[in-house]
Amino acid sequence: MALFQTQTAPPTHSYGFSTKTRSHSPMVLSFHSPPPSQLVTHSSVKTQQRNSLFSFQNTPLSLSTVTRKLLCRPPQGKHVREDYLVKKVSAQEVQELVKGERNVPLVVDFFATWCGPCILMAQELEMLAVEYESNVKIIKVDTDDEYEFARDMQVRGLPTLLFVSPDPSKDAIRTEGLIPLQMMRDIIDNEM
């Protein structure tokens, strides 16, 4: 009784490879060329390319050739405008505010202009500034401009908020990352 059965495949007339297997012999591969009627010539390929829907006839593809109507003037790359309630301050100004006499809590926002969550946090801090008016002082520090100060304050993630109480006996509260508006309200109302 034979353990192996031999199978021989008849030669095929299609594209690709056909295999012939024999008992105890390596596989033999042979390539069959397509019939002459199915050959594609170089000139027919050029014709198909010219008739393509997505072809451009000697038109350079450039965005500068497209005219656009602007609805408004584009921003100048600043996410912190001068008329916001939350002001951008320097490291020296922050140190003066922390060491000086205050009767309201101080919220320091460490941010960067390229940071997406920082921009969202800026919107929440603006709403908080409107809500608390003069009962809370909220300021911003750009960590790109004040790199040494951010390093000294051990800012590792952005945005980082520092809540400083007017009472010098209380410790400052620090948060990292985007936090909800209600959490900021709770810290200001209950912890300061």
Task: Indicate if 115 belongs to the active site.
Answer: yes
33 three-class SS: coil
Within 13 Å of residue 40, how many CA atoms lie on the same side as its CB? 5
The conformation of residue 95, written as its DSSP 8-state character, comes to: H
Per annotation, catalytic residue among 112, 118, 150, 153 = 118
Per annotation, catalytic residue among 115, 138, 141, 150 = 115
DSSP H or E run through 17: strand 17-20
Task: Indicate if 72 belongs to the active site.
Answer: no
Nearest to 184 by CA among 134, 143, 116, 138: 138
142 three-class SS: strand
CA–CA gap between residue 101 and residue 176 (Å, rounded):
26
**Cis before 159? omega within 30:** yes
> For tokens 């926002």, what's the residue?
109
Catalytic residues: 115, 118
